Amino acid sequence: MKNILFILIIMLWLPALKAEKTMFLLNWKILAQNKDNSDKLDLFCDHFEAEFNNGIEKYFPCATKTSYRNIATILAWERDKQLLGAGDDDALQNLAGAMGAQYLVSLKMTQLGQTVVMNAICIHMKNAKH
């Protein structure tokens, strides 16, 4: 009886070992007519990122997510820490893991006069055309 229970537990546990953690990378591009409008569109993108993160947490609680802007900020921060001699190698390893995202979410906002066109797509990196 113990052997059967042990085998059953192992059979249920093995697929979880092979499970791949889903990672999303968000990137956005803004095309505006001037700097003031660019700043406004940037706020829309920040709001989109916050809603995107909330949606991922709600519907895919095991998934990880980051944005290109967050990665650039972390790289700048880590660079400054390395220059001061207080760098953390674990942070760079975590950053490298974030760049191995399975899904790329691309947001493009274009200003056309008084109209703003927003285009968002999600691309599975295995199917992406290079």
Q: Which long-range contacts (CB under 8 A, 24 or more apart) does 85-92 make?
A: none
Number of domains in the chain: 1
Cα–Cα dist 74/68, whole Å? 10
Cα–Cα dist 26/64, whole Å? 11
User: Does the residue 7 lie in any domain?
Assistant: no
**Residue 19 DSSP code:** P
Instruction: Give pTM, 2 decimals.
Output: 0.67
| Residue 90, domain extent | 23-124
Which whole number is the average pLDDT over 47-71?
87
pLDDT (tens digit, 9 = 90+) per residue, 31-43?
A: 888 888 888 888 8
**pLDDT of 114 over the 80 cut:** yes
pLDDT of residue 58: 92
User: Does the residue 15 lie in any domain?
Assistant: no
pLDDT of residue 6: 53
Tell me the one-letter amino acid at 100: G
pLDDT (tens digit, 9 = 90+) per residue, 87-111?
A: 666 666 666 665 678 888 888 989 8
pLDDT of residue 41: 87
User: Does the residue 79 lie in any domain?
Assistant: yes
User: Does the residue 129 lie in any domain?
Assistant: no
